[in-house]
Structure 1
Amino acid sequence: MTMKKVFIITLCALWGTVVAAQQVDVLHYGIDLTINDATNQIAGKVTLNLQYLQQTGKLKIDLAGMKVSEVLSKGRQIGFEQDANALYLKVHARAGDKAAYTVVYAGTPKDGLIISKNKYGDRTFFTDHWPDRAHQWLPCIDHPSDKATVTFTINAPEHYTVVANGVKVSEERLPAGIKKTVYDEKVPLPIKVMAVAAADFTVTHSGDVGRIPVYSYVFREDASHQGYARATQILPYFIQQVGPFQFEKLANIQSKTIFGGMENAGAIFYAENSLDFERLESLLAHEIAHQWFGDAVTETDWRHLWLSEGFATYMTLLYMEHTYGTDTLKASLKEDREKVIGFAKKRKTPVVDTTVHSNYMQLLNANSYQRGGWVLHMLRRKIGDEQFWAGIRQYFKDYNGRNASTDDFRKEMEKASGQDLKGFFTQWLYTAAIPELQMNLSYNEATHTVKMEVIQQQSPLFEFPLEYTLDKTKPLQQVMIKERVTTIMIPAETKPAGIWLDPDTNLLADIAK
């Protein structure tokens, strides 16, 4: 996901959702939704096929703001209760039991399903689920750890074009000017990237990447814009570098998302003004990278969000490096480093932030995005390109369709590199500080020697390689920094004009000028 105002990479309560996620594993959602042009009220009939993970007498399903009229199991009504944030089913289940429940409900969504008008005044419907807003209109387990397949059946006025995750199975005209559209997604998804939209779209088949059709859905007034077609050139890079694209189509959709982009699986939503964004190519790359990281491989919990946003951030930089050269990568890394330094001065939290238990929007910050991307860059430099990509590919292969934690990723990279990476991960991902470096220089005319002192001003101390060069003309040198003060003696026939630290932009540090 990309935040709207901090462009590119600048993307229910936790206790309740975790308990629900532990009770059951939802295997499939059958979502039957009816929308209309007269009111913002929706009617829903959602079937949850699930398996119990523990003995359960009262099943909690996340749901807020909707009025449930009945719940059916095997065609029979079952007892239920409802409060402001959840639906509770009266059940008698043992661990391992499978069941299917159909929830019939109606209401006007306050969030999660955005019913509004686009910038041209046309009525639109767009889901906007991240992080845990789906339950504002949809009975579900609103947590990234629970992944399921989904079928959308949308009954809407016939002037709407409907798009959702998966493949369009059918489109049928019904009486009274209604059209029923069915989409089916066979890849298990977290609820945060399940999506459906209905608007007056112009649809363009931008091309195919192998067997993957790529589409652009834009408002009819923007039919002449072809900016999303760039996706056909971005998608092959990630397929080659990471692994197969998991979804049966890639639709790039102009929308009313609150984000700059939202990485819904195979059906990416972009801000309605995105076609005019200066960095549209970067935005496309960011959201397409999410199809592997965030969608196919999903973080186990919000605290591991960097496995989604940090990955999409750095994968975007790698695509731009591949397309435009190393100088583009360095410029972006410098820009991102300044954002990380600025954030660190305002808020002292690590990338894996265990202090956030609600209002997960606050995790959409420079730690999750830019610092997470920087960690991947330093990891790449530490273990080498070949081992880095081998680890990334194996990580994707092993956790495709599943959930992963930061430790899961670390173990994959340790296997690929043959290195112990616990210290690296601890200091860069679980420590709030970043290195703050002060450099002192002096030149001894008698011995023709430069004395360089590098002082770590932050606490705790970090351990990292520091690259430096004299006069920007001398060969690059490297020294390991791990003490509070590190002294380096450098031979120099004449007093140098200066010493440049980290000239190739490989270190996340606040270096005093």
Structure 2
Amino acid sequence: MSSHARRSLNILFLFSFISPVLAQTEKPAASATTPPAVKEPTHADLLRGSYGPYRANNDLLFYHLDLRVDPEKKLINGSNEIRFKMLTDGARIQLELFPTLQIDSVEMGKDPLKYERDGGTFFVDFPKTLRAAHTYSIKVHYSGSPMETGRFGCFTFKQDTAGHPWINTACEETGASVWWPNKDQWRDEPQEGMEISVAVPNGLMDVSNGRFMGKKDLGDGYTRWDWKVHYPINNYDVALNIGNYVHFDDKFGDLALDYYVLPEDLDGAKRQFAQVPGMMKAYYHYFGEYPFKKDGYKLIEVPYAGMEHQSAVAYGNHFHNGYLDRDWTGVGISPRFDFIIIHESGHEWFGNAITAADKSDMWIHEGWTTYLECLYVEYNYGHEDEVKYVNALKKKVKNDRPIITARGTNAEPPQDQYFKGALFINTLRNIVNDDTRWFALIHDFYQHFKYQNIMTEDVEQYFNQQTGMNLTPVFDQYLRHTAIPTLELKFDESAGSVEYRWRADEKDFAMPLRVGLKENWETIRPTTEWETMKTELTKDQFDVATDLYYINVDKQ
């Protein structure tokens, strides 16, 4: 558990009980007069989402997930060894496993342990008090048929076009405990990484996270594939990919690039995956080297669109540019590159190396990674195309509820976390109004928080300190309110003046921006109070740099 995570713990408990819960829906965006329905958190939501006492009393150190997968019967069985250090004295810890799977036993060494199940949560009880600062290890044995659920199925038994088993995982939304027992939350990751061992029928391959350590024929028709993750890893990033894969590789400097695809897609993959070194070059330029070098970088073909599994990025974009064969942003730029390669790989920096400590702050994953797409465009095609690309995101924003959801409730943030999040970051860039300073700032921000689990308050504090500005009202307006700020302008052409102020939910909202003529912008610093400036421009001539900020403008 990071120091940043610990110092936000009390705040998290408070918010988990007093914040309203906003439900995510797949219905069309609500109108301004019809806000989305409010959903109270269920008992299961609070168990899963809150960082309760039986989670907070221990710090994860290591997992060893050892699993056997039977494609014919659609069954799994195995164990997860969990090593942890107690932070306070205690005799109970909290873990998760969906009730569709059976817990066969829980052991500490050779001694069986008692446990109590409550839906998808189970509590392990110890016969003696575990002491603070001491390290312990338990093993959970389990079995069953994992349920197929969520957008990508979470754990799916499929077949490829040749009839071979093709089994994959993608559990970010639903939770990794659909298929393996773990501490299913975001705040605490195993500090010492994990080992993943997956036994599959001979002739198939398993590709998981981390460095390939070898395979072993078990002599019973199964082969075990062993992988070692050398870094902390978010539980939903843990993946298995079982199929009739073929492998090819490449290098980016001293970074190993490994690719696993179905045989019939080998030629298309070799053509499309040639974009990876260029992607690495762009992200190295802005943020520094790939964060999981000991594990290497992998792209793995899957039967769904894609997912940011750490060091094992899932790819299903049909080996074409754009996103699922379409112009993602509609301005002619996204067909120049493969969206899944660029976006999902960007999560290695934001989402995997830097992880939100609570699902409520998931914009730290998605907003920043969507902004990385914009930086990729700028690096390869120039600033003018970056401006065009980022502004094309505006039509995707709904502004129907805040980006940050209620903490401690396992509530899924709205889709605006992607597009409004990136537009907010682009707005910050133009508040700083110095690209040399901005690029140094975001590079250092990433390096400062790399391998940590953080909250929005950590991001705010860092940007406040490094810029010398009070940006907290700006963060709050864009992330904790529904509406974006509106610049109100009142023209008095006879007096050659214009009054201006911000209309915003945050009383202390203040944000500089550029106005006047595009060829010769003038920076003003509006607050929520009316101010006046002289101008020779008429209402029609007076412009606002709306391409640089995500705002509304009301000219009166």
Could you state the TM-score of these two structures normalised by the residue count of structure 2?
Answer: 0.80
CA displacement, residues 149-191 of structure 1 (integer Å, 9 cap, x when unaligned) = 1111110012222211110001122324321110000101111
> For structure 1, which runs of at least 5 residues remain unmatched after alignment?
6-11
CA drift of 1:135 comes to 0.6
* Match status 1:465 vs 2:512: yes
Q: Which whole-Å CA distance do the structure 2 matches of 1:70 and 1:459 have between them?
A: 53
Q: CA contact under 8 A between 2:359 and 2:407: conserved in structure 1?
A: no
Q: Which whole-Å CA distance do the structure 2 matches of 1:22 and 1:164 have between them?
A: 29
Q: CA contact under 8 A between 2:55 and 2:93: conserved in structure 1?
A: no
* Match status 1:104 vs 2:141: yes
Where 1:491 maps in the other structure, the secondary structure is coil
Counterpart of 1:352 (choices 404, 408, 426) is 404
Counterpart of 1:222 (choices 251, 255, 265) is 265
Matched residue, 1:277: 325
* Match status 1:382 vs 2:424: no
Q: CA contact under 8 A between 2:401 and 2:414: conserved in structure 1?
A: no
Where 1:54 maps in the other structure, the secondary structure is coil
Matched residue, 1:67: 102
Matched residue, 2:234: 190
Where 1:30 maps in the other structure, the secondary structure is strand
Mapping of 1:380-419 within 5 angstroms?
A: 380-383=429-432, 384-419=434-469
Amino acid at match of 1:509: I
Mapping of 1:159-308 within 5 angstroms?
A: 159-205=203-249, 207-225=250-268, 226-247=271-292, 248-257=295-304, 260-271=305-316, 273=318, 275=320, 277-278=325-326, 279=334, 280-308=337-365
CA drift of 1:458 comes to 5.2
CA displacement, residues 413-451 of structure 1 (integer Å, 9 cap, x when unaligned) = 23332333333323333333212345555644xx7x4x5
CA displacement, residues 101-156 of structure 1 (integer Å, 9 cap, x when unaligned) = 11111100014422223566542111212135211111100111111111111100
Q: Which whole-Å CA distance do the structure 1 matches of 2:260 and 2:424 have between them?
A: 35
Q: Which whole-Å CA distance do the structure 2 matches of 1:300 and 1:488 have between them?
A: 44
Q: Which whole-Å CA distance do the structure 2 matches of 1:440 and 1:122 have between them?
A: 68
CA drift of 1:456 comes to 4.9
Task: Tell me the number of residue pairs that the alignment of Structure 1 and Structure 2 aligns.
Answer: 483
Q: Which whole-Å CA distance do the structure 2 matches of 1:460 and 1:82 have between them?
A: 44
Q: CA contact under 8 A between 2:46 and 2:408: conserved in structure 1?
A: no
Q: Which whole-Å CA distance do the structure 1 matches of 2:199 and 2:207 have between them?
A: 12
RMSD: 2.6
Q: 1:496 to 1:190 in 2, by over 3 A?
A: closer
Where 2:267 maps in the other structure, the secondary structure is coil
Q: Which whole-Å CA distance do the structure 2 matches of 1:115 and 1:53 have between them?
A: 40
Amino acid at match of 1:13: D
Amino acid at match of 1:174: L
Q: Which whole-Å CA distance do the structure 2 matches of 1:292 and 1:105 have between them?
A: 33
Q: 1:143 to 1:119 in 2, by over 3 A?
A: farther
Q: Which whole-Å CA distance do the structure 2 matches of 1:107 and 1:359 have between them?
A: 27
Q: Which whole-Å CA distance do the structure 2 matches of 1:231 and 1:14 have between them?
A: 40
Q: Which whole-Å CA distance do the structure 1 matches of 2:505 and 2:121 have between them?
A: 44
Q: CA contact under 8 A between 2:498 and 2:533: conserved in structure 1?
A: yes
CA drift of 1:336 comes to 1.6
Q: Which whole-Å CA distance do the structure 1 matches of 2:208 and 2:131 have between them?
A: 34
Q: 1:397 to 1:355 in 2, by over 3 A?
A: closer
Counterpart of 1:54 (choices 88, 94, 118) is 88
CA drift of 1:355 comes to 6.5
Q: CA contact under 8 A between 1:468 and 1:476: conserved in structure 2?
A: yes
CA drift of 1:75 comes to 2.5
CA drift of 1:254 comes to 1.9
Q: 1:373 to 1:120 in 2, by over 3 A?
A: farther
Q: CA contact under 8 A between 1:72 and 1:102: conserved in structure 2?
A: yes
> For structure 2, which runs of at least 5 residues remain unmatched after alignment?
1-25, 27-43, 149-153, 327-333
Matched residue, 1:117: 159
* Match status 1:511 vs 2:553: yes
Q: CA contact under 8 A between 1:433 and 1:460: conserved in structure 2?
A: no
Structure that is richer in strand per residue: 1
Q: Which whole-Å CA distance do the structure 1 matches of 2:141 and 2:465 have between them?
A: 49
Q: CA contact under 8 A between 2:431 and 2:513: conserved in structure 1?
A: no
Q: Which whole-Å CA distance do the structure 2 matches of 1:297 and 1:355 have between them?
A: 18
Where 2:482 maps in the other structure, the secondary structure is coil
CA drift of 1:310 comes to 0.9
Q: Which whole-Å CA distance do the structure 2 matches of 1:21 and 1:40 have between them?
A: 32
Could you state the TM-score of these two structures normalised by the residue count of structure 1?
Answer: 0.86
Q: CA contact under 8 A between 1:387 and 1:416: conserved in structure 2?
A: no
Q: CA contact under 8 A between 1:40 and 1:115: conserved in structure 2?
A: yes
Amino acid at match of 1:354: A
Q: 1:391 to 1:90 in 2, by over 3 A?
A: same
Where 1:147 maps in the other structure, the secondary structure is coil
Identity score, percent: 20
Q: Which whole-Å CA distance do the structure 2 matches of 1:219 and 1:76 have between them?
A: 44
Q: Which whole-Å CA distance do the structure 2 matches of 1:291 and 1:82 have between them?
A: 34
